Amino acid sequence: MHDNSLVLSEKLRERGEQTTEEAAVNGGRATLVRMGVLALLWGSSFLWIKLALGGLPPAWISAVRCVLGALVVLGLCAWGRHRLPGSVRTWGHLAVAAFFGSALPFLLFAVGELTVDSGVAGVLNSTTPLWALLIGIVIGTDRGLSPVRLGGLLVGFAGTVLIFAPWQTTGLASWGAVALLAGAASYAVAYAYVARKLSNRGTSPIALSGAQLTAAAAMGLLTLPFSDTASIALTPTVLVAIGVLGVLGTGVAFAINYRLIADEGATQATTVGYLLPVVSVLLGALFLHEPLNARVVAGMVVVLAGVAMTRFRPRPVPAPAPVLDQAAV
């Protein structure tokens, strides 16, 4: 009887280990699926912006995108019973975050794609970590600037210059390119502001996202009376593009990103950013027949290499183990 109980105990232990391993494998697969879906949603946003520009001015694209995204995230907040912040001061900070993190960059990327290919727009969006590091250096919040990270900053911006090639008559330098870089820098300003003013406020990240998109939607709607309406042409392509951009590329993407951060941490979630330019370039080439310029592809690789270098942080050297005093033993 004793032997049987030992065998049963061993089998239960092995089954428990297998269940734990299966759960870990399934959890890892689920994370990879979420990362892939998020990369596709965000990476395709530049394609949808380009298609929406066929019948909507940039201000309308930004406003409708914010409204649809806010409705999706607020619905998820209601379903998950996540309460929006009630403090007036918090909403004031959210207004700043909404301006730099949603309303302004959404508008700037739409303006930029009037003259720049969607694939290039996606590549320039990936410069946001470079701007974030530069802003951190300027305001003094990033003091751990190693030679590798500084080199990454220089390499990343060198890749941007390679993409535009202002020394060539066939270069891509334009006001649209400036708008795209300004949009990427605006995201970086928002990240720095949120980290300083909205972190650890007792409100869930998805509720903060819903509140931020709501504030951005209000800002966008206020600009519409001053926007051009003569060029609006609501074709099926335009309606599908703006609908997918707002619902999936903004609302659902916000929710998936929140889940990734909750499950894997912010550092792991940010690795999705390496896939966005690849997705945007491929989709632009496949569906919009944008040229796969060798210089742009090379610039993209250089930019991503620079971003990877800026995220390098040397592992701390472990403290030496204490040496036991033989006499004390």
Indicate if the pLDDT at residue 223 is higher than 80.
yes
Residue range of the domain that includes 174: 59-310
Residues 232-253: tens digit of each pLDDT: 999 999 999 999 999 999 999 9
Tell me, what's the pLDDT at 56?
Answer: 97
Residues 45-86: tens digit of each pLDDT: 999 999 999 999 999 999 999 999 999 999 999 999 999 998
Tell me, what's the pLDDT at 5?
Answer: 56
Tell me, what's the pLDDT at 132?
Answer: 86
- Residue 116 in domain: yes
For the chain, what percent of residues have pLDDT higher than 90? 50
- Residue 33 in domain: no
- Residue 209 in domain: yes
Identity of the highest mean pLDDT range in 211-215, 293-297, 304-308, 321-325:
211-215
- Residue 198 in domain: yes
pTM, 2 dp: 0.83
- Residue 40 in domain: no
- Residue 272 in domain: yes
Average pLDDT estimate for 152-162: 89
Indicate if the pLDDT at residue 322 is higher than 70.
no
pLDDT band at 93 (very low <50, low <70, confident <90, very high): very high
Of 43-57, 116-130, 186-200, the range with the lowest mean pLDDT is 186-200
Indicate if the pLDDT at residue 289 is higher than 90.
yes
Three-state SS sequence of the chain: CHHHHHHHHHHHHHHHHHHHHHHHHHHHHHHHHHHHHHHHHHHHHHHHHHHHCCCCCHHHHHHHHHHHHHHHHHHHHHHHCCCCCCCHHHHHHHHHHHHHHHHHHHHHHHHHCCCCCHHHHHHHHCCHHHHHHHHHHHHCCCCCCCHHHHHHHHHHHHHHHHHHCCCCCCCCCCHHHHHHHHHHHHHHHHHHHHHHHCCCCCCCHHHHHHHHHHHHHHHHHHHHHHCCCCCCCCCHHHHHHHHHHHHHHHHHHHHHHHHHHHHHCHHHHHHHHHCHHHHHHHHHHHHCCCCCCHHHHHHHHHHHHHHHHHCCCCCCCCCCCCCCCCCCC
- Residue 101 in domain: yes
- Residue 126 in domain: yes
Q: How many domains does the chain have?
A: 1
